[in-house]
Amino acid sequence: MFRSLIKRNEFLVAVTIIALVLYIGFRNPVFYTYSNIFDLLRSGTVVGIFAMGVLVVIVSGGIDVSFTAIAVFALYSTVKFMVTYAPDAPIWMAFVMASLIGLGLGMINAFFISKFHLPTLIVTLGTLSMFHGFLLFAIGNQIIRNKLPPSLTAFARTALVSIQMDRGIANLHPAIFITIVVAIFTWLLLDYTMLGRGIYALGGAREAAERAGFNINHIQYFIYGFVGLLSGIAGMTFGALNRQANPQDIVGTELNVIAAVVLGGATLTGGRGTVIGTILGVTLVVIANNSLILIGIPPVWQRVVIGIIILIGTGLPAIQERRAGKAMVGLADM
């Protein structure tokens, strides 16, 4: 049992996180301060929401790179609408509107993928450029910072926990609860519903899933609609936390999110992936992105370190799986 545990990708990622935390904390005790811990949680909030949607796509055997464009489209469109027509609208209306915009854009992906059976990477790569380009040239390309609706500013200033430090105050933003709720919902969806079984089945073998009676078209519409909805929520969360709507934000960070999901054990071929593993992958990527500077690694080299972590994190499970396959073949020959 112990040997099977240490071979699991989640265990390897957890050990890597512990080793990295101990090493960074030993080199620079600032890592263990409340302000740094709260900053890490804040940084992981949006990435965590994105990662749950990406997990569902990868488990189904697909790939989506358009979610960042959907997020910034939903954020900017919502903020511009509120500034123009509903400046006094409550924050929940902003999240509802952004999530509905994201849902609609996700359905565009689902239409092309389900109706025409096009490769998911090609479709979402195209819609990434299409959504972002339409945003910049048809809706607006100016940063909205000084005219934000009061509800967004109030949300940005909200603190769940405030701790007085030697230099300033460390605040934990309640937006972390959004990530927690999304993660719990995704876990329940994948592990305890027939739809979740269909998503795993689709990623394992589409033909077998169809023979088992799953409606593949309906599942694909749900998957990409779900990713779009979460992207809208993530985009609005990002804008509220940063107190601005910048049409150039977020786009370009999709590879970090996909890397976090793959590090957590999801295979790009589909059929495998867990919420716990994804959370661990997000944790590792966030720590690597935000804390390596504490031990003197320049930002330019941080991408190199993250790349090495990704190669090791994805390479070891692949090697172990290949060895296990050879062992099974050997036993069959005997």
- Residues spanned by the domain of 80: 30-275
Q: How far apart are CA 69 and CA 96, in angstroms?
A: 18
Name the DSSP letter for residue 248: T
- Predicted confidence at residue 227, as pLDDT, reads 97
- Does position 300 have pLDDT exceeding 80, yes or no? no
Query: Per residue in 76-131, pLDDT tens?
Result: 999 999 999 999 999 999 999 999 999 999 999 999 999 999 999 999 999 999 99
Q: How far apart are CA 265 and CA 55, in angstroms?
A: 10
* Rounded Cα–Cα distance for residues 41 and 197 (Å): 31
Q: If you average pLDDT over residues 171-195, what whole number do you get?
A: 95
Say if residue 6 is exposed, middle or buried (CB neighbours under 10 Å; 0-12, 13-18, 19+): exposed
| Closest to 268 measured CA to CA, from 34, 61, 94 | 61
Q: Do residues 230 and 52 touch, judged by C-beta distance below 8 A?
A: yes
**What angle is formed at CA 104 by the lines to CA 101 and CA 110, rounded to 5 degrees?**
145
Whole-structure pTM value: 0.92
The vertex-92 CA angle with 50 and 159, nearest 5°, equals: 75
Chain mean pLDDT for the chain: 89
Name beta bridge partners: 120.
Answer: none
- Radius of gyration for the alpha carbons in the chain, expressed in angstroms and rounded: 21
Q: Let me know if residue 37 belongs to a domain.
A: yes
Least confident of 60-64, 205-209, 223-227, 326-330: 326-330
Whether 326 has a pLDDT exceeding 70, the answer reads: no
174, part of any domain: yes
- Whether 150 maps to a domain, the answer reads yes
- pLDDT level of residue 13 (50, 70, 90 thresholds): confident
Asked if the structure places residue 326 within a domain, the reply is no
Is the confidence at residue 3, as pLDDT, over 60?
Answer: no
For residue 303, pLDDT beyond 80: no
Judged on CB neighbours under 10 Å (0-12, 13-18, 19+), 311 is exposed
Burial class (CB in 10 A: 0-12, 13-18, 19+), 116: exposed
Q: CB burial class (10 A; 0-12, 13-18, 19+) of residue 69?
A: buried
Cα atoms found within 13 Å of the Cα of residue 306, Cβ hemisphere only: 26
Asked if 282 contacts 260 with a C-beta cutoff of 8 angstroms, the reply is yes
User: What is the tens place of the pLDDT at every residue in 271-296?
Assistant: 999 999 999 999 999 998 888 788 87
Question: Does residue 309 lie within any of the structural domains?
Answer: no
- Taking a C-beta distance cutoff of 8 angstroms, is the pair 142, 252 a contact? no
Per-residue pLDDT averaged across 261-279, rounded?
Answer: 90
Per-residue confidence (pLDDT) for residue 167, from 0 to 100: 77
Give the SS3 label for residue 162: strand
In a domain, 307, yes or no: no
- pLDDT grade for 5, boundaries at 50, 70 and 90: very low
Total domains, the chain: 1
Answer yes or no: is 265 within a domain: yes
Q: Is the pLDDT of residue 297 over 50?
A: yes
Q: How confident is the model at residue 197 (pLDDT cuts 50, 70, 90)?
A: very high
Assigned domain for 19 exists = no
CA angle 88, 92, 94 (to 5 degrees): 65
